[in-house]
Amino acid sequence: MIRPANVRDLDALVALENASFKGDRITRRSFGNLLRGRSSVILADFERGVLRGYVLLFFRAGTRVGRLYSVAVAAAARGHGVGRKLVRAAERETSRRGRDVLRLEIRKDNAASLALFRGAGYTEFGETAGYYEDGMAALRFEKALRRAA
């Protein structure tokens, strides 16, 4: 089940973040602020009360573009379509909020994420050198979305 995360999910989000990323992690404090923020939403996938993955979206006022900032899937849930489901949920939420485009950055060396987003119809449109704290470049992707009815 995918639903908006809330403050009761904070421990699980932080644990997944720390297990998923070596660097560039979202801190507990930042997650707390994001969960209460008006310009962000965290969609979380749960199965039997266990967090399997999340996607973090940002929506800046005055733009038709949404930003997918982070996606993480628990190791035990990888290969079961959780990432694809979260991306589709992110697209629906972005469209529902009146945005026409969803953009994101992916580590140049993250083969699994590159395959996921290319397979979901995202188009590469740029590269940002030194984007990540370890100096790795980011590839920039976007997808035009259909408007929600």
pLDDT of amino acid 149: 42
The domains found in the chain, sorted by start residue, are 2-103 (3.40.630.30)
The pTM for the full model equals 0.92
pLDDT of amino acid 147: 59
- Taking Cα atoms as reference points, which of 78, 104, 79 lies closest to residue 91? 104
E strands present in the chain: 2-4, 40-47, 50-59, 65-73, 101-107, 123-128, 138-144
List, for residues 16-45, the tens digit of each pLDDT value. 999 998 888 999 999 999 999 999 999 999
Which regions of the chain are under pLDDT 50?
148-149
pLDDT of amino acid 16: 96
41, 16 Cβ separation under 8 angstroms: no
User: Sign (positive/negative) of CA torsion 141, 60, 144, 25?
Assistant: positive
Q: Classify residue 92 by its DSSP letter.
A: H
pLDDT of amino acid 23: 82
